[in-house]
Amino acid sequence: MSAGPRARLIIPDRVIGPITIVGGGLAGSECAFQLANRGIRVELSELLPVRSTPGHQTVRLAEFVCSNSLRSDDPFHAAALLKREMERFGSLVIAAAREAAVPAGGALAVDRDRFADRITEAVSSHPLIQLRRREEERIPEGEVVLASGPLTSDTLAAELLKLLDDESLYFYDSIAPIVDIESLDMERLFWASRYDKGSGDDYLNAPMTGEEYLAFHQAVLDAELAPLHDFEKDLFFEGCLPIEELAKRGVDTLRFGPMKPVGLRLADGTRPYAVVQLRRESLAREHFNLVGFQTRMKWPEQKRVLALIPGFQNAEFVRLGQVHRNTFVNAPRHLDPFYRIHTTPRVRLAGQITGVEGYLESAATGLAIAIYLALQLQGTEPEPLPSTTAFGALARHLTESDPKGFQPANINYGLFPELTRRVPKRQRRQAFAERAREDLDQWASRHAIELNELPEQAIARGAS
């Protein structure tokens, strides 16, 4: 993986502001750092530790809760394209992620503790950022960015509801367990990445026979679940369903989903019937995340059911899975391309509350807002980032999707405008990426913004 450019601390001569940001997650931290580096004073309010949340375990900024992955780092993957666009603007989040990276095949995954420490230090020590540990019960006056995340407090959600006049602001999400590797029977497991990507020891795999899989599937179906109210039962996000919800859809749904064995081979060259993959949580290699195993089983049930996974008979869990409320708005109804609320344009929304899905996408919205705000406060009327870029494609999803049935989404090429020329299927991702890079360069030039040069660009320039 490329090390990428570092997020540099910049103290401009002229200071303006302040801007209030509510929420110190990835979106709020990125937004605060970007604004401060552009000469804008920031007051950053963070709920922790004044009030705890169901998902957070520490009081550090930008804590990963559900996963430790920022998804693919393949240069032509949509997620990697978004990372590279962020790096060109000097993203703090991506710089910290590369410094705290742990092996994960072709993905960019991080050591949660090192990552959060890096972000917390960079934000809290910046001379133009005032970090306040408090709960905001009302939307602050003046220019404000609400980046309170998927766990927005009830009081602030109620205030936001007054601006939006919507019936509902939330859906339910679930997080996966984390296990201590020292408690597993390693003779039952094997190291491998799918299709041999990565170093070979990025993922730990628990293979299942057909008999073992059927027993596990039935145990998942029979498990006692944490209760939901009737009106909450259809509010899970399709892209992050609990394993028990998937199991209800058919006996093979898990085997073709998070437990798919494709790309993996046993020592004898055969493919397992099903497999549970574990991804490293830290450089020390002691904690592993059960990939795709979000769950709302009650905790004693989780221990009983997960013990059926080969090698898990004596498993000790650092964290068990749980369900929590994720708050998001119907963005196509309420947001413009600059993330402003139509009825109250001084208020901008950033992060998962906008209806983007994932840590990477959340951080990107905070960065985009900072760029727009900085241009505006410095006397320039910005134009939206082109929809042909990953930044612009995210905003396109939030502002141009059908408001009926709007669902959160990760960055993917389905959000981009179609290519205007015919390209062979195997070259389409590269064509999307090249168009995005060219259009971002032109946008930055029109706005007198100097972008960072990435290592692969320097190599290409030297070759030419």
Give the pLDDT band (50/70/90) at residue 1.
very low
Contact 248, 220 (CB under 8 A): no
- Bond preceding residue 18 cis, omega within 30 of 0: yes
Domain ranges of the chain: 16-169+328-463, 174-325
**What is the predicted pLDDT for the residue at 459?**
44
Mean pLDDT of the chain: 89
Using the predicted structure, report yes or no on whether residue 2 has a pLDDT greater than 50: no
pLDDT, tens only, 379-437: 999 999 999 999 999 999 999 998 887 878 889 998 999 999 999 989 999 999 999 99
What pLDDT band is residue 364 in, cutting at 50, 70 and 90?
Answer: very high
Quote the CA–CA distance of 223 and 216 in Å, as a whole number: 10
DSSP 221: H
| CA dist 294 → 21, 323, 384 (Å) | 30, 8, 36
Q: Which two tokens stand for residue 342?
A: 């139509």
**Which DSSP helix (H) or strand (E) runs through 178?**
strand 178-180
pTM: 0.78
DSSP alpha helix (H) spans, 125-258 = 154-164, 210-222, 243-247
Most confident option among 69-73, 293-297, 387-391, 406-410: 387-391
Q: Is the pLDDT of residue 114 over 80?
A: yes
Task: Name which of 99-108, 115-124, 224-233, 269-278 the model is least confident about.
Answer: 224-233
- In this model, does residue 89 exceed pLDDT 70? yes
Domain 174-325, architecture per CATH: Beta Barrel (2.40)
Q: At what angle do helices 390-400 and 359-377 cross, to 10 degrees?
A: 90
What CA–CA distances, in Å, run from 100 to 199, 248, 286? 17, 38, 16
Rounded (to 5) percent helix, strand, coil in the chain: 35, 20, 45
Q: Can you tell me the mean pLDDT for 221-250?
A: 80
**For residue 230, is pLDDT > 90?**
no
Q: 49 preceded by cis ω (within 30°)?
A: yes
Closest CA to 109 of 100, 121, 119, 122: 100
Q: Quick check: helix, strand or coil at residue 4?
A: coil
Residue type, 65: V
Q: Across residues 82-111, what is the average pLDDT?
A: 95
Residue 66 pLDDT exceeds 80: no
Proportion of the chain above pLDDT 70, given as a percent = 88
Name the pairing type of β-strands 144-146 and 16-22: parallel
Query: Alpha-carbon torsion 84, 87, 92, 98, what sign?
Result: positive
* pLDDT at residue number 168: 63
Q: Which CATH architecture has domain 16-169+328-463?
A: 3-Layer(bba) Sandwich (3.50)
Q: Specify the pLDDT at position 425.
A: 86
Residue 198, Ramachandran bin (φ over 0: left; ψ between -120 and 50: alpha; else beta): left
Q: Do 16-169+328-463 and 174-325 fold alike per CATH?
A: no
